[in-house]
Chain A
Amino acid sequence: DTEVTQTPKHLVMGMTNKKSLKCEQHMGHRAMYWYKQKAKKPPELMFVYSYEKLSINESVPSRFSPECPNSSLLNLHLHALQPEDSALYLCASSGLAGFGEQFFGPGTRLTVL
């Protein structure tokens, strides 16, 4: 199984809502990533987890809260988002952080009203 899955595919939320994005992989990878991609722009790294511990936070606002409950799961908790946070949120995984190729999920299209 070389697939990274993400749920939901689409999410619409208000600025006062709390929601979560979910990512799952069953390739035995020990590194997982969250990226944000605005329209017509390249993906930008948000967070890196290595062996279930947060290793990189690219100065992301605290209204985005990542969580790695186990080696196969990665969540991104959202609270008090702004309309400018509307974007495609991509999850990826790799065998080890910093080595080899990353496998990306299909993304969650988030719209903040």
Chain B
Amino acid sequence: DAKTTQPPSMDCAEGRAANLPCNHSTISGNEYVYWYRQIHSQGPQYIIHGLKNNETNEMASLIITEDRKSSTLILPHATLRDTAVYYCIVRVAHYGQNFVFGPGTRLSVLP
């Protein structure tokens, strides 16, 4: 079973920041938080991951709370092409450990 909970759907206005929350209250100290997204009928696309510190790359920012029980993925200026299902996954970095996808959040970016 997935170890995360996410809202099933969210809307965001084009050009505004999209803030996608994820709850992982049972996360262990050596588990990373990963974010993927899946645009309709395409393969999942890696976005970002982190352990404790906030992370930023060209696609998004990842904010992890100090207790690590929740995180937020931020798309700073959402476009229509960001409409997708966003998956938050926690996983320890260890041989044999694999990604378990939950239902994710369906983000709709509206014009």
Contacts and interface: CB of A to CB of B under 8 A. Distances in A.
Interface of A: 4, 33, 41-45, 48, 50, 55-56, 88, 90, 92, 96-107, 109
B43 A4 contact: yes
Given A90-B43, A104-B45, A42 B104 contact: yes
A109 B40 CA distance: 13
Q: Is the interface of B mostly helix, strand, loop or mixed?
A: loop
Contact of A56 (B41, B98, B102): B98
Nearest to B2: A42
Nearest to B91: A98
B2 to A, nearest CB: 8
B43 A98 contact: no
Contacts, number: 56
Size class of B's contact patch? 20 to 34
Q: Which of A43, A48, A105 has the most CB of B within 10 A?
A: A43
A48 B34 contact: no
Nearest to A4: B43
27 contacts: A4-B43, A42-B2, A42-B87, A42-B101, A42-B102, A43-B44, A45-B98, A48-B98, A55-B96, A88-B41, A97-B95, A97-B98, A98-B93, A98-B95, A98-B98, A99-B93, A99-B94, A99-B95, A100-B93, A101-B34, A102-B99, A103-B46, A104-B43, A104-B46, A105-B43, A107-B42, A109-B41
Q: Is the interface of A mostly helix, strand, loop or mixed?
A: strand
